[in-house]
Amino acid sequence: KEEKSLNFIEEIIESDLKAGKYTSIITRFPPEPNGYLHIGHASSICLNFGLTNKYPGYTNLRFDDTNPVTEDTEYVESIKNDIRWMGFEWKNELYASDYFDTLYGYAIKLIQSGLAYVDDSTSEEIAALKGTPTEPGKDSPYRSRSVEENLTLFERMKLGEFPDGSRTLRAKIDMAHQNMLMRDPILYRIKHAHHHRTGNKWCIYPMYDFAHGQSDAIETVTHSICTLEFVPHRELYDWLIAQLAIYPSHQYEFARRNLNYTVTSKRKLLQLVQEGHVSGWDDPRMPTISGLRRRGYTPESIRDFCERIGVARRENMIDVGLLEFCVREDLNKKALRRMVVLDPLKVVITNFPEGISEMCHSENNPEDIAAGNREIPFTREIYIEKEDFMETPSKKYFRLAPGKMVRLKGAYIIQCDDFVKDGNGEITEVRCSFIENSKSGQDTTGINVKGTLHWVSVNYSVPVEVRLYDRLFSVEDASNQEGDFKEYLNPDSLHVITGYAEPALTEAVEGESFQFLRKGYFAKDKDSIPEKLVFNRTVTLRDTWAK
């Protein structure tokens, strides 16, 4: 395997290790449990866990659960499940909410040092004094409160004496600071809300900036990796660590990963779920890890995708074609082959006896001899795809047409003798004869045919529900369009049809992936019941991604 060049975060870590700054590293993956993980999170997971697989050290899973209103244990469970499914294991399962007491102590310490104050202003009043990037802000009238008064008020905030939004705790930095986030940022807000872990113990909650870096420091995280929108927060991150004299974690930023024809924002994905545009977080059209899994994506294919897109410093849009390429590559190696006719046309083999079946054999996976063979019953009446017959074929059409021969995969060469049309001119039946001694594997005819078709026996085939998916949105970047992003949903993102499967497919287990010959990769869906199997099309076979 060729040596891969280091990404910029690996370069930083290697030089830190070389300089002896650290002997091992600690990273963390810090999801807020307010939704299911999506493909963007997958990239952050691969990065954080990948680094500590490569270098000495470990990765924590830390739930960034400082906003009680939107968070839920359902999300906590799904996040843990998805990370494990991706193939990673965390060292410690941690919660920012476990640090609420410590964080409260840090706040007291800042107040005592004259570096924080209780502000009675409303959020509108605070915003009005914030200034602009080119104009300094103005001091709040509450900025010069005494340490004692601040301590008392902050304690009364904690005791629940004040309503939501009536007071905040703010850092006392500089209202004229170049970085707007340094203009006395809010550290705590009042929220009388039930928290999924701390219950009703707290009615004040720390803001992101007063929780994240402090949690990193408590866990002695060495490299705290986040996305680019946090670049302006780094100054505050460092300031708080310095003032509190706690462990000096460092923040590094990389570009968010966006995939075209979908949205990667939990807030938007939640809307799709709540408003019923999709069947749930794991709808196979969703870019969530659980949706991709249900669709038939493998952990290997998602990790390969994350590896290929790498770590960038500038935001860009990734073509979903690359993700599809990765899953094709993986499933081509692993998926068993099965024949399923999605749009049936009956073919009668007129010289094959009625009422009997003959077993044919075909390889389960030509890429993997060890996968063995399977039996497929051949009978007088079979189905082929409608598109595999043409009354008047074009020159390059190597499928079935009057007078033409094709091979039926794993079975005989057949020749088309005739066809039947209904009153509307629609072809309803094709009549063929099979060529003796042409059976696959024991063909002595010497006949060379160009086309091989998939087929199933009419009598022995099993109807299955097949769900064909298309892109969830009809534009590449629905988040950056005029109006509501939901106006750009693709109205044709799901087609449900009945396919006719060879009997071996009934042995499929939930989640198992198959290549339906010539049709694509499909995974058995959890909605399957013994009387009706359901398959999701993961991806078509056609490879449009240029390597």
Taking CB under 6 A as the rule, does residue 377 contact ligand ATP?
no
| Cα 406 to Cα 310, 384, 518, distances in angstroms | 45, 11, 15
- Quick one: which of 266, 399, 404, 439 contacts ligand ATP (CB under 6 A)? 266
Site for ligand ATP in 198-227 (CB under 6 A): 226-227
Helix, strand, or coil here: 118?
Answer: strand
For the annotated binding site for ATP, the residues are 32-34, 227
Taking CB under 6 A as the rule, does residue 320 contact ligand ATP?
no
Which of the ranges 24-32, 333-341, 369-377, 380-388 carries the binding residues for Mg ion, by CB under 5 A? 24-32
In order, the DSSP letters of 20-63 are TS-SSEEEEE---SSS--BHHHHHHHHHHHHHHHHSSEEEEEEE
For the question of residue 266 being annotated catalytic, the response is: yes
44 binds, among Mg ion, ligand ATP, none (CB under 5 to 8 A by kind): ligand ATP
**Closer residue to ligand ATP, CB minimum distance, 51 or 534:** 51
Tokens representing 400?
A: 């079935």
**Closer residue to ligand ATP, CB minimum distance, 153 or 472:** 472
**Closer residue to Mg ion, CB minimum distance, 32 or 149:** 32
Q: Which helix (H) or strand (E) holds 419?
A: strand 413-421
Give me the least distance between CB of 161 and Mg ion, in Å please: 30
Exposed, middle or buried by CB within 10 Å (0-12, 13-18, 19+), for 303? Answer: buried
Give CA–CA dist 136/149, Å, rounded.
Answer: 27
271 binds, among ligand ATP, Mg ion, none (CB under 5 to 8 A by kind): none
Give CA–CA dist 290/266, Å, rounded.
Answer: 13
**Closer residue to ligand ATP, CB minimum distance, 192 or 267:** 267
Taking CB under 6 A as the rule, does residue 97 contact ligand ATP?
no
- Contacts of 115 by beta carbon, 8 Å cutoff, 6+ apart: 171, 172, 173, 243
Residue 435 half-sphere exposure, CB side, CA atoms within 13 Å? 21
* CA angle, 153 then 157 then 160, to 5°: 135
**Closer residue to ligand ATP, CB minimum distance, 64 or 385:** 64
- Contacts of 316 by beta carbon, 8 Å cutoff, 6+ apart: 255, 258
For the question of residue 256 being annotated catalytic, the response is: yes
* CA angle, 256 then 257 then 261, to 5°: 130
Cβ atoms of residues 282 and 294 within 8 Å: yes
| Cα 148 to Cα 117, 166, 469, distances in angstroms | 10, 19, 63
Give me the least distance between CB of 256 and ligand ATP, in Å please: 4
For the annotated binding site for L-glutamine, the residues are 64, 208
Give me the least distance between CB of 265 and ligand ATP, in Å please: 4
| Cα 540 to Cα 388, 510, 518, 519, distances in angstroms | 17, 20, 9, 6
Give me the least distance between CB of 470 and ligand ATP, in Å please: 22
Tokens representing 5?
A: 């060049």
Give me the least distance between CB of 17 and ligand ATP, in Å please: 22
Tokens representing 30?
A: 């810090």
Enumerate the H helices of 159-265 as residue ranges.
Answer: 208-218, 234-244
Taking CB under 6 A as the rule, does residue 32 contact ligand ATP?
yes
**Closer residue to Mg ion, CB minimum distance, 48 or 365:** 48
- Quick one: which of 32, 300, 358, 368 contacts Mg ion (CB under 5 A)? 32
Give CA–CA dist 334/322, Å, rounded.
Answer: 19
Give CA–CA dist 338/342, Å, rounded.
Answer: 12
- Strand 494-501, strand 462-469: pairing: antiparallel
Give me the least distance between CB of 80 and ligand ATP, in Å please: 13
- DSSP tag of 181: G
- Contacts of 270 by beta carbon, 8 Å cutoff, 6+ apart: 34, 35
Give me the least distance between CB of 258 and Mg ion, in Å please: 13
Write the single-letter amino acid at 280. G
Site for ligand ATP in 40-59 (CB under 6 A): 40-41, 43-44
What mask, x for binding ligand ATP by CB under 6 A, covers residues 224 to 253?
--xx--------------------------
- Contacts of 124 by beta carbon, 8 Å cutoff, 6+ apart: none
- Quick one: which of 70, 260, 265, 279 contacts ligand ATP (CB under 6 A)? 265
493 binds, among ligand ATP, Mg ion, none (CB under 5 to 8 A by kind): none
Which of the ranges 80-88, 102-110, 141-149, 264-272 carries the binding residues for ligand ATP, by CB under 6 A? 264-272
Helix, strand, or coil here: 363?
Answer: strand
List the beta bridge partners of residue 119: 168
**Closer residue to ligand ATP, CB minimum distance, 257 or 380:** 257
Which of the ranges 97-105, 256-264, 295-303, 438-446 carries the binding residues for ligand ATP, by CB under 6 A? 256-264
Taking CB under 6 A as the rule, does residue 298 contact ligand ATP?
no
**Closer residue to ligand ATP, CB minimum distance, 37 or 406:** 37
List the catalytic residue out of 80, 130, 197, 256. 256
Taking CB under 5 A as the rule, does residue 476 contact Mg ion?
no
Site for ligand ATP in 57-96 (CB under 6 A): 64
Taking CB under 5 A as the rule, does residue 70 contact Mg ion?
no
Taking CB under 6 A as the rule, does residue 264 contact ligand ATP?
yes
Give me the least distance between CB of 316 and ligand ATP, in Å please: 11
Q: Which residues bind ligand ATP (CB under 6 A)?
A: 30-32, 40-41, 43-44, 64, 226-227, 256-257, 264-267
Q: Which residues bind Mg ion (CB under 5 A)?
A: 32
- Catalytic (active-site) positions: 32, 256, 266
